[in-house]
Amino acid sequence: MSKPDVLVMGALPQWDMAALEERFTLHRYWEAADPDALISAQAGNIRAIATRGDLGADAALMKRLPELEMISCFGVGVDGIDLDHARANSIRVANTPDVLTDDVADMGVALILAAARRIPQGDAHVRSGKWLDEGAMGLTSRVTGKRLGILGMGRIGAALARRMRGFDMSVAYHNRTPREGIDATYMETPQALAAASDFLVISSAGGEGTRNIVDASVLEALGPQGVLVNISRGSTVDEAALIDALAQKRIGGAGLDVFASEPDMDRRLLEFENVVVQPHHASGTVETRKAMGKLVLDNLVAHFEGAELLTPVV
Ligand code: 8YV
């Protein structure tokens, strides 16, 4: 039996590529000398796309693939996939929720601690010999007992709240509508949440609904001692306003895993010693990436066997 053709948008771990290759004929978009020519040549064959949370699949691409039935996304965020177009054209979409929740929440904890306790700066202080030559580094800020604000109380936000309660933190959150059964104080607006937070963590979905949800007014409300942490999507923050707020010391610091542009992020952010950065790596553990890759494969297999998708979005 011939293997269905799958367009792979970007590199996946080698073990995932090997597992996919057993079941499907793969077309590697990111490796093609001329990706446009690859699409033209394979348009009549490609029946599925395997993409990543940071790469997505837009309507222009889907329109070029008349045989497209299914998109399997390595990531929970599907803001880069045109879901309206997929829905309107009966193209099924699956993502990888749940399996990455713990690691992304852990990264939220790590960025809170790294930004407040200046972990990278302390490491640099020892490595550079300054500890020996100049003495102790400057004092840092306490984490335990502070106020946590979660912008986007979904699975990841709830997992972060659970963790930070272990640090005796109070927890407040903002969503478009309050959530049932959540042991945290609901705030009506992002501004009100920021004003009531020492650490404001963004764990909302990306996309148009949350674009620049953290703008100059939210940063103003967070205030000169407040720390912004982003484990969601770069699009949720007005980065120009963030750079202004940092430059004018109107916020206390930031811990950022995601950026408006990746990997070519705005390097002005690196000029602030109170900013800690990560290369969009919150889900980047072997354990979680293996679980994500397995779900990408299992959803594709389910689709081609005519079964229900394991984790359907559309
Ligand atoms: C990426 C993510 O998929 O889950 C998401 O939405 O952004 C990440 O897990 C991962 O970095 C691979 O690109």
Which of 83, 98, 100, 285 has most ligand 1 atoms within 8 Å of CB, for mutation? 100
Question: What would the CATH number be for the domain defined by 5-97+287-304?
Answer: 3.40.50.720
Whole-number Å distance, alpha carbon 261 to ligand 1 midpoint, is 14
Residue type, 44: G
Residue 180 has pLDDT above 90, yes or no: yes
Question: What would the CATH number be for the domain defined by 101-277?
Answer: 3.40.50.720
In the numeric block, which tokens belong to residue 200? 């404001």
Q: Is the CB of 235 under 6 A from ligand 1?
A: no
Residue 1 has pLDDT above 90, yes or no: no
Mapped onto helix, strand or coil, the DSSP state of residue 301 is: helix
Which of 30, 54, 278, 285 has most ligand 1 atoms within 8 Å of CB, for mutation? 54
Which pLDDT tens digit goes with each residue over 77-134? Answer: 999 999 999 999 999 999 999 999 999 999 999 999 999 999 999 999 999 999 999 9
Whole-number Å distance, alpha carbon 249 to ligand 1 midpoint, is 31
Nearest 10 degrees: CA dihedral of 303, 280, 142, 145? -20
Burial 15-29 (b: 16+ CB within 10 A, else e): ebeebbeeebebbeb
Q: Is the CB of 51 under 6 A from ligand 1?
A: no
Q: Is the CB of 16 under 6 A from ligand 1?
A: no
47 and 69 Cβ atoms separated by less than 8 Å: yes
Q: Give the position, in ligand 1's atom list, of the atom nearest the Cα of 77.
A: 6
User: How far is 180 from 243, CA to CA, in rounded Å?
Assistant: 36
Percent of the chain with pLDDT over 90: 99
| Active site (annotated) includes residue 262 | yes
Q: What is the pLDDT of residue 79?
A: 96
Whole-number Å distance, alpha carbon 99 to ligand 1 midpoint, is 12
Residue 200 confidence class, pLDDT cut points 50, 70, 90: very high
Q: What is the pLDDT of residue 167?
A: 98
Q: Is the CB of 280 under 6 A from ligand 1?
A: yes
13 C-beta neighbours (distance < 10 Å), count:
14
Q: What is the pLDDT of residue 307?
A: 97
What is the arithmetic mean of pLDDT over 228-256?
A: 98
Q: What is the pLDDT of residue 95?
A: 98
Whole-number Å distance, alpha carbon 144 to ligand 1 midpoint, is 29
Q: What is the pLDDT of residue 88?
A: 98
User: What are the angstrom distances between the C-alpha of 76 and each of 72, 203, 206, 231?
Assistant: 11, 12, 10, 12
Q: What is the pLDDT of residue 48?
A: 98
Q: What is the pLDDT of residue 140?
A: 97
226 C-beta neighbours (distance < 10 Å), count:
25
Q: Is the CB of 298 under 6 A from ligand 1?
A: no
Q: What is the pLDDT of residue 199?
A: 99
User: What are the angstrom distances between the C-alpha of 284 and each of 24, 116, 229?
Assistant: 25, 22, 17
Domain boundaries of the chain, sorted by first residue = 5-97+287-304, 101-277
Q: What is the pLDDT of residue 191?
A: 98
Question: What region does 202 belong to: left with phi over 0, alpha with psi -120 to 50, or beta?
Answer: beta
What is the arithmetic mean of pLDDT over 285-307?
A: 98
81 φ, ψ (degrees, to nearest 5): -105, 130
Percent of the chain with pLDDT over 70: 100
Nearest 10 degrees: CA dihedral of 208, 96, 110, 286? -140
Residue 290 confidence class, pLDDT cut points 50, 70, 90: very high
Residue 20 has pLDDT above 90, yes or no: yes
Does 5-97+287-304 match 101-277 in CATH topology? yes
Which pLDDT tens digit goes with each residue over 141-150? Answer: 999 999 999 9
Q: What is the pLDDT of residue 198?
A: 98
Whole-number Å distance, alpha carbon 73 to ligand 1 midpoint, is 9
Q: What is the pLDDT of residue 228?
A: 99
Residue 237 confidence class, pLDDT cut points 50, 70, 90: very high
What's the whole-number average pLDDT of the chain? 97
Question: What is the interface pTM, i.e. ipTM, of the complex?
Answer: 0.96
What is the arithmetic mean of pLDDT over 21-48?
A: 97
Q: What is the pLDDT of residue 126?
A: 98
